[in-house]
Chain A
């Protein structure tokens, strides 16, 4: 089905945008952890994007994306009122959420958006949620205000120290874990190195840790195997077995290599696209 863009907000100009889409059938079924696959135009590729929020009452879903390739660059050229021709979902297994006490949700970069939906789910299930979010600098920090609405605390780490702890999210996470209250689960969504670093912080402490893997996907319904990853020595498909897995069992090195499979072509295409757009834009 297609979906109309109701609102578009550039969170970080030219880099990260948030869109609210009218997609009632998806909104009705979407749970934290789910994602969609979309195509921007008739010659477009299928790309997965996490559902950052869903509202069945208004029939809307929210997506947040970082401009990384031609497709996200093209998506970012769309405006309110435009229609995305193909939006498919919700996909993937929802996050396992139950009432368990204290949960820490760690988000980095655009991953904060995906983490937002999961944190909200944990909050609605009666958990006390601590959000730990990071960015290079204060201006690039996402969802701080939104998370503050229901999180017991929001810890911030910035590389330049312009807000919160100067350093990485793992520094802020370690700080939170060192002082209690005791944490039942840590959830981390963000770049692979960040998720891997979070896993190494919690591993010695024996805290259950869940990561949402942003693998390459084509169909997103368990047909192609592009998203396969190794978890606990076994081949799993992130699109139907995941996208969430036990962080302490994921083979991050393999994941990192596989994510780079098409980088050469993608980078060249993005450059070409940017040039084309600049020329067209005069």
Chain B
């Protein structure tokens, strides 16, 4: 038997030093150089039937873009990426690659998978010199808007931006209505600067603007306008991508205490309100020496790492299961650990305790033991009866979200499922109202940026088909 060819290990991502980065909000992962990117791209086996592609919700031709990159053809790599993805600089940073493309990579079976996310990021970051038209369509001139084809998107998060990018590149006039004062949805209010710089989001949005997409901020779907009115105003189709929104709490005593926040509030203050730059920016954020974050997802990691950067001396993430079941990206958990975030696994809050002025003083937790797997396939935690307390002046609840009802209540003929999310046709994304489509968290509940983009792409394709635009890409 021939000696096994040793698989080269993947090129390490240059990072900001933990001791330094915990004191700033600059991006943690610094990005590859061209040499590093080419060396990493060269590791790709260029499989005949690439499993990575099947693992990608938007089915990017991964082998294709990596082949171009390996040759040093960054522009060619970008053209391939852009055919499938309107937000590659974002996806390269925030997708859970380990469970998608990289999780399916054949190299991962015996060694380390190709760093597909890092390569995607490299290509996107190194290719913003061209005009937006070229970026998005590959053509020098922007497509002229099609006569009479107008589409409205409600919400300016990943799903809507994908719809806008896909349709605008095909000559459709798209207008996006956003309730907040800034565009990007969860990309700007939820994901911190140190993981996804706002300049990256802004660049992708500016590209859409150059394509003719029109953005309206401070317009609340359901309040400032209704879906019905959009049709009266002359839109042919409407895409609803308003996110999940409404924060969940645990329903335990003490959640009304001063110092208890939803992760949404904490992160919105920090990110959208730039509270890390208070008082240059006016939004205040609660200071605390000891902070506890409840939850095990990316949002919990983001909140914990933000609290550290805002001066907390001790930040503890409390999670009901063990490290192995945490839904957060591996990389974020590792980065959080390097920065000094502590973890209390197999612990479930029973009560939040406060002083006579209604301020949080600590949490009472109950030790859990893992039982049988639940519906989600993860082993469910069971109470053991053993309790312990941890002191905290701030507790951040990162335990998920529910459907935000503002638009839904104003649109009574929109069918919802029993959890209050919009029901859609699985193939087209169309809702119970003809020519009204929906996608992202308002359909699935809290999920990933890329799955929201996948939903946006499906809906955009169907809208294009009905508008009589030839399919492609």
Contact = CB atoms under 8 A, between A and B. Distances in A.
Nearest to A261: B258
A232 interface: no
Interface string B13-33: 000000000000000000000
A282 B245 CA distance: 46
Interface in B257-315: 257-259, 261-262, 264-265, 268-269, 272-274, 277-284, 286-287
A115 to B, nearest CB: 22
B284 A219 contact: no
A269 B255 CA distance: 28
Nearest to B244: A223
Interface string A104-141: 00000000000000000000000000000000000000
B283 A235 contact: no
Interface string A66-81: 0000110000000000
Interface in B204-259: 216-220, 223-225, 243, 245-247, 249, 251, 255-259
Given A43-B280, A88-B179, A266-B284, A223 B218 contact: no
Interface string A252-282: 0110011011100110010010000000000
A94 to B, nearest CB: 10
B198 to A, nearest CB: 13
Contact of A29 (B223, B249, B274): B223
Nearest to A38: B218
A175 interface: no
B358 interface: yes
Contact of A253 (B249, B265, B269, B358): B358
A39 B246 CA distance: 22
B181 interface: yes
A230 B257 CA distance: 11
B265 A225 contact: yes
B404 A228 contact: no
A218 B224 contact: no
A235 B279 contact: no
A186 to B, nearest CB: 25
Contacts of A272: 279
Nearest to B273: A45
A222 B218 contact: no
Nearest to A34: B223
Residue from the set B223, B264, B268 with the largest chain A CB neighbour count within 10 Å? B223
Nearest to B179: A221
Contact of A258 (B258, B262, B272): B258
A224 B265 contact: yes
Given A1-B216, A89-B224, A237-B246, A221 B406 contact: yes
Question: 10 tightest CB-CB pairs across the interface, nearest first?
Answer: A257-B358, A88-B218, A224-B265, A225-B262, A45-B282, A45-B283, A86-B181, A225-B247, A265-B284, A223-B245
25 contacts: A1-B216, A1-B219, A29-B223, A70-B282, A86-B181, A88-B180, A88-B219, A218-B268, A218-B269, A219-B189, A221-B179, A222-B246, A223-B245, A223-B264, A224-B247, A225-B261, A229-B256, A230-B256, A235-B249, A254-B256, A257-B257, A257-B357, A258-B256, A261-B258, A265-B287
Interface of B: 179-181, 189, 216-220, 223-225, 243, 245-247, 249, 251, 255-259, 261-262, 264-265, 268-269, 272-274, 277-284, 286-287, 357-359, 404-406
